[in-house]
Amino acid sequence: MRTFMTVAMVVVFVSGGMLCSAGASETKAKMEKAKGEMKADVEEMKGETKAMKEELKGNDAKAELERAKGKMKGAGERAKGTMKQLKEKATD
């Protein structure tokens, strides 16, 4: 009886630990996604700022180039965030 109770307690603690671990990885996955979105927005704002500076100088072609570069970097950061999110979900 004593051995049975010991084994039962070990099983309860191990399964409880696994549940806490699964919840933590889901939270981390959401955080990775949010960080990717935030970094993407920052990159797009940087590109827009550079584009405005170029427009003030009268360089419309260079302004469009800076805008496009910002959008591409933003898309890259979003993709990284999504990949990290999927990686965290997969490690559950």
Pick the closest to residue 66 from 77, 78, 76, 54 (CA basis). 54
pTM of the full predicted structure? 0.66
43: pLDDT strictly greater than 70: yes
CA dihedral angle for residue 63, residue 64, residue 69, residue 75, rounded to 10 degrees = 130
18: pLDDT strictly greater than 70: no
Domain spans, the chain:
2-90
Number of H helices, E strands in the chain: 2, 0
